Amino acid sequence: MKLSKRVVAALLFSIILVVSGCGSNGGDSSSSSDKLNVQVSFYPMYEFTKNVAGDLANVEALIPAGIEPHDWEPTPRDLATIEGADVLVYNGAGLEGWIDQVTSAVNNDKLVQIEASQGIAIMEGSEEEKEAHDHEGEEAHDHEHGGLDPHVWLSPALAIQEVRNIESGLSKAAPEHTDEFKKNADAYIVKLEQLDQDFKSGLSNTKRKDFITQHASFGYLAKEYNLVQVAIAGLSPEQEPSAANMAKVVKFAKENDVQTIFFETLVSSKVAETIAKEIGAESAVLNPIEGLSDEDKANNLDYIGIMRQNLEALKKVLNQ
């Protein structure tokens, strides 16, 4: 149902473009600025792109801070924004379920599209997630991932690959700045490599390897650092866990003396807190960095800063 609404919105916007003539420039922004006009889908793509682009582009996120990206739907205004851009950066792997429809609706054949996860081996979700997706049928939301896990940015090693893809795309859009983009990407990747090394050293000798999360966001991180993610629910934050899976997680937690259940920012922590209460454990944040909260912004946190908080949270829990 949501898909049909979006199609209608896209068609209405196309009519508006024809009537107003606002699409006649084909996305050429050179008259207003020599900088690239870069639109990105959500926060991690903003952080990565801004670090690569430096002062050579105006980078803006389509999804506002504090909005869960799985819930976001583009409006006609967003279509107009994308149409006027030089570059569109998105994560891919099914996170932005609207991407194909939006890019086919805009009238800008010069738009450079960068799928940051291109070339990365995408993981499938849990059996529970795939089963839920199969049973949803036409009632499924557009933003469901089709059983694929899009959360690649939560592995610093894969974040490096995303940054390289963004560097390549920006160089395609502005080849005269290829050297600058590479220099900026190299400098940022040094920081990501240090982050990766800190995760490796910090998590290599913990007392336990398993952790329980409310939302199955941390599969890539777990795989990279030889951990085991036990998810209460599936890939989509709004997916309700089945009674059977809730019981399975409670049983696992009791048998393995789990003392902390992780929840995340931007979505309700009710499920995690319910299980924590059931087993006499505490709850704590493990942040999937799908957007910055007001508290994150107040503390001047960025991707690397939040990932370091995640590392400390994992070290504490895995050494209990």
Which alpha helices (H) appear in 175-231, and where do they start and end?
A: 178-203, 219-224
Q: Which pLDDT score, from 0 to 100, does residue 2 have?
A: 43
What are the tokens at 122? 């995408």
For the chain, the domains span 2-195, 203-318
Mean pLDDT calculated for residue range 289-300: 90
Query: pLDDT tier at 33 (50, 70, 90 boundaries)?
Result: low
Please determine whether the domains at 2-195 and 203-318 fall in the same fold group of CATH: yes
With a cut of 50, say whether residue 141 has pLDDT above it. Answer: no
Residue range 2-195 forms a domain whose CATH class is alpha beta
Q: Which pLDDT score, from 0 to 100, does residue 237 have?
A: 62
Answer whether 87's CB lies under 8 Å from 114's CB: yes
Mean pLDDT calculated for residue range 179-207: 98
With a cut of 90, say whether residue 201 has pLDDT above it. Answer: yes
With a cut of 80, say whether residue 12 has pLDDT above it. Answer: no
With a cut of 70, say whether residue 144 has pLDDT above it. Answer: no
Cα(175)–Cα(162) distance, integer angstroms:
19
With a cut of 80, say whether residue 86 has pLDDT above it. Answer: yes
Residue range 203-318 forms a domain whose CATH class is alpha beta
Among 32-46, 104-118, 177-191, the range scoring the smallest mean pLDDT is 32-46
Answer whether 63's CB lies under 8 Å from 41's CB: yes
CA distances to 51, 96, 118, 305 from 93, rounded to whole Å, are: 22, 8, 8, 25
Q: How many CB atoms lie within 10 A of CB 319?
A: 12
Query: pLDDT tier at 95 (50, 70, 90 boundaries)?
Result: very high
Q: Which pLDDT score, from 0 to 100, does residue 21 have?
A: 45
End-to-end CA separation in angstroms for the chain: 46
Mean pLDDT calculated for residue range 47-76: 92
Query: pLDDT tier at 63 (50, 70, 90 boundaries)?
Result: very high
Among 117-131, 136-150, 211-225, the range scoring the smallest mean pLDDT is 136-150
Cα(153)–Cα(69) distance, integer angstroms:
14
Cα(124)–Cα(126) distance, integer angstroms:
7
* Per-chain mean pLDDT for the chain: 85
Task: Supply the DSSP symbol for 135.
Answer: H
**Tens digits of per-residue pLDDT, 151-165?**
999 999 999 999 999
DSSP states of 86-110: SEEEE--TTS-TTHHHHHHHS--TT
Q: Which pTM does this prediction carry?
A: 0.85
Q: Which pLDDT score, from 0 to 100, does residue 78 have?
A: 95
Listed ranges 198-202, 236-240, 246-250, 298-302; the one with the highest mean pLDDT: 198-202
